[in-house]
Amino acid sequence: MAREKCVLAYSGGLDTSVAIRWIQENYDMDVIALAIDVGQERQDLEFVRTKALSIGAIESIVKDVREEYVEEYISKALKANALYENKYPLVSAMSRPIIVKHLVEEAHKHQAKYIGHGCTGKGNDQVRFEVGIACLDPDLQIVAPVREWELKTREQEMLYAMEHDIPVPTTKASPYSIDDNLWGRAIECGVLEDPWLEPPSDIYTLTADSRGNTCDEPQYVEISFEQGVPVALDGEHASFHEVIKSMNEIAGKHGFGRIDMIENRLIGVKSREIYEVPGALTLITAHKALEDLCLERDVLHYKLQIEQKWSELVYNGMWFSPLKEALDGFIETTQQLVTGDVRLRFYKGSCVPVGRRSPYSLYDYNLATYDEADSFDHKAAKGFIDLHGLPTKVWARQRRKVGKDGEV
C-alpha cells in the first residue's frame, strides 16, 4: 500500500530540514516540501528546493506568491491600517494565511491527508497554521514535529542532522530568530529577551540608525492611492508591490520603521519583539492621513474599532474566519472614495504627513476657515451646545439637589 503523504511547510532552515527526515521515520510517511516566496530577503529558493530533495522529500516545490500576497492579503491589511496592539503591522501573521492556502492546495493536489509545520509550541504561528488549515479543510491532519520531538537544544538537533546526513549550517548560528517577508522583518531571541536592554545595532538590515548615518536633508515623497491602495509614487504609476519595495528603501534609508515592543502572544506569554517595518508603517501612515480627509466622521471613528478587532483576529490566526470576512466587507465599503495623494516628509527617523488632497475630500475650506470666507453658522452653535449638554446639565442639577456640590 502506498505510504500516506504529508505536505510540509519548508523554509530550508535546520528545523524544517530535520523535520523532513523525522516525519518519514516517526510517521512512516512521504514528505512533500513546499517553500513559499513571500519576499524574504536573501534566500536562494532553488537551493532550498534541491536541499529538501537531498534530505529525502519525494517532491519539493517552490511557489512565488508575492503578487498574490500583495493583492489579496497586504492590500486588506493596509485598508484596515492593521496594527496589533496599536503598534505591530502583523508581519508574520500576514504571511501565514497565504502559506496555509497553498499548503492546503498542494495537499489536495497530491492527495495528502497531512500537513506539517516547523513551529514550536510556544508561539502564535502554530495557531495560525492549524486554525487556518482547519478553516480551509477540517479533514486535514496536522503534524507538528518541533512540538513533539525530544531534540531540546540546537546541539541535539545538529547531532540528529549529522547522524542522518542532513546538511547542517556551516556558519555560526545567529542568536536571533528572524522571520521576514515583504511587509517587514521580525526579530526575536538572544539578548533581546531582556526587555531592559537596548537592541544591538547589528540586528537591523532594513533601516539605518537615525542617530548616525541617515541623510542630513529631508526627503519628500508623494504617494497616490486609489480606493485605499497605492497606485503611484511621486506622480509615476507604480504597482502596489513596487511601492512597498520603494518605501522599504526610502523610509529605511531615513531610519524610519523600527519597533521595540512587549507583545501579548495568544498563548498567554508576553514577549519582547523587534520589528523593522519601514514600508508598512509608511504606507499605513499615509493611508490614515488620506482617510482623515475622505471618511465621514462616524465611519472613521467606527472603523478605528473595526481595525483593532481585525488586527486581533488576524494576529490570533483567524484570517479565514467568518467574522474576519465580515469585517473585510465593512472595510472594503469604506474604501470606495479613499482616493487621492499624500505628501510625506522623511527626516532622521521620522515620517510625517505634510500634505493631503483628494477629489473626494470632505474638508470644506469655507466651513473650516476663520477668515472672511467663513460660512459656518456661529449662532447655530448655541442651540447645538444646549441640547448636546442637556443630559449632563440635568444630571448636575440633580446631584446638587441631593448633596452639596455634587457630593452624595
Min. distance of Cβ 140 from ligand ARG in angstroms? 23
Q: Residue 88's closest CA among 233, 249, 265?
A: 265
Catalytic residue of the set 11, 15, 66, 358: 15
Answer for which of 273, 276, 291, 307 binds ligand ARG (CB under 6 A) is 273
Look at the chain and count its residues: 408
Give min distance, CB of 128 to ligand ARG, in A: 8
Q: Which residue has the cell 478553516?
A: 135
- Judge whether 154 counts as a catalytic residue: no
Q: Rule CB under 6 A: is residue 93 a binding residue for ligand ARG?
A: yes
| Cα separation, 37 vs 271, whole angstroms | 27
In the complex, minimum distance from the CB of residue 389 to ligand ARG, in angstroms, rounded to a whole number: 45
299 contributes a contact to ligand ARG by CB under 6 A: no
- The dihedrals phi and psi of 176, each to the nearest 5 degrees, come to -105, 155
Give the one residue of 9, 144, 186, 284 binding ligand ARG; rule: CB under 6 A.
186
Regarding 178 and contact with ligand ARG (CB under 6 A), the answer is yes
Q: For residues 315, 321, 322 and 326, what is the CA-based torsion angle, rounded to 10 degrees?
A: 30
Site map for ligand ARG, 349-388, x if CB under 6 A? ----------------------------------------
Closer residue to ligand ARG (CB): 178 or 362: 178
Torsion of CA 355, 359, 361, 363, to 10 degrees: 80
C-alpha distances out from residue 360 to 229, 288, 340, 341, Å: 15, 15, 8, 11
Nearest to ligand ARG of 13, 56 (CB atom): 13
Instruction: Select the residue interacting with ligand ARG from 113, 158, 164, 177 (CB under 6 A).
Output: 177
Taking the complex as a whole, the smallest distance from the CB of residue 159 to ligand ARG amounts, in Å, to: 22
Cβ(124)–Cβ(92) below 8 Å: yes
Residue 151 φ then ψ, to 5°: -85, 85
- DSSP code per residue over 91-160: HHHHHHHHHHHHHHHHHHHTT--EEE----TTSSHHHHHHHHHHHH-TT-EEE-HHHH----SHHHHHHH
- Is 261 a binding residue for ligand ARG by CB under 6 A? The answer is no
- H-state helical runs in 347-406: 365-368, 380-388, 390-402
224 catalytic? Reply is no
**Which range touches ligand ARG (CB under 6 A), out of 97-105, 175-183, 236-244, 316-324?**
175-183
Of 132 and 340, CB closest to ligand ARG: 132
Q: Considering beta carbons, is residue 158 or 178 the nearer one to ligand ARG?
A: 178
Q: Applying CB under 6 A, does 92 fall inside the site for ligand ARG?
A: yes
Name the catalytic one among 11, 49, 125, 258: 125
**Farthest CA pair distance, the chain:** 88
* Pick from 36, 83, 30: nearest CA to 56: 30
Choosing from 21, 49, 66, 96, which is the catalytic residue? 96
Q: What is the closest distance, in whole angstroms, from the C-beta atom of residue 177 to ligand ARG in the complex?
A: 4
Helices 297-315 and 91-109, packing angle to 10 deg: 60
130: contact with ligand ARG by CB under 6 A: no
Least distance between ligand ARG and beta carbon 161 (Å): 19
Q: What is the SS3 assignment for 252-292?
A: HHCCCCEEEEEEECCCCCEEEEEEECHHHHHHHHHHHHHHH
By CB under 6 A, is residue 36 in contact with ligand ARG? Answer: no
Nearer to ligand ARG, 73 or 225 (CB): 73
The nearest distance, CB 138 to ligand ARG, in angstroms, is 24
With contacts defined by CB under 6 A, how many residues of the chain interact with ligand ARG?
A: 10
- Candidates 98-106, 174-182, 203-211, 284-292; binding stretch for ligand ARG (CB under 6 A): 174-182
Q: Is 113 exposed, middle or buried (0-12, 13-18, 19+ CB in 10 A)?
A: middle
Active-site pick, 177, 321, 350, 361:
177
124 near ligand ARG, judged by CB under 6 A: yes
Distance CA 167, CA 144 (A): 21
d(CA 121, CA 281): 30
Can 180 be counted among the known catalytic residues? no
Minimum distance from CB of 385 to ligand ARG (Å)? 46
Residue 271 a catalytic site member: no
Sites of contact with ligand ARG (CB under 6 A) = 92-93, 124, 177-179, 186, 188, 263, 273
- The residues carrying an active-site annotation are 15, 96, 125, 177
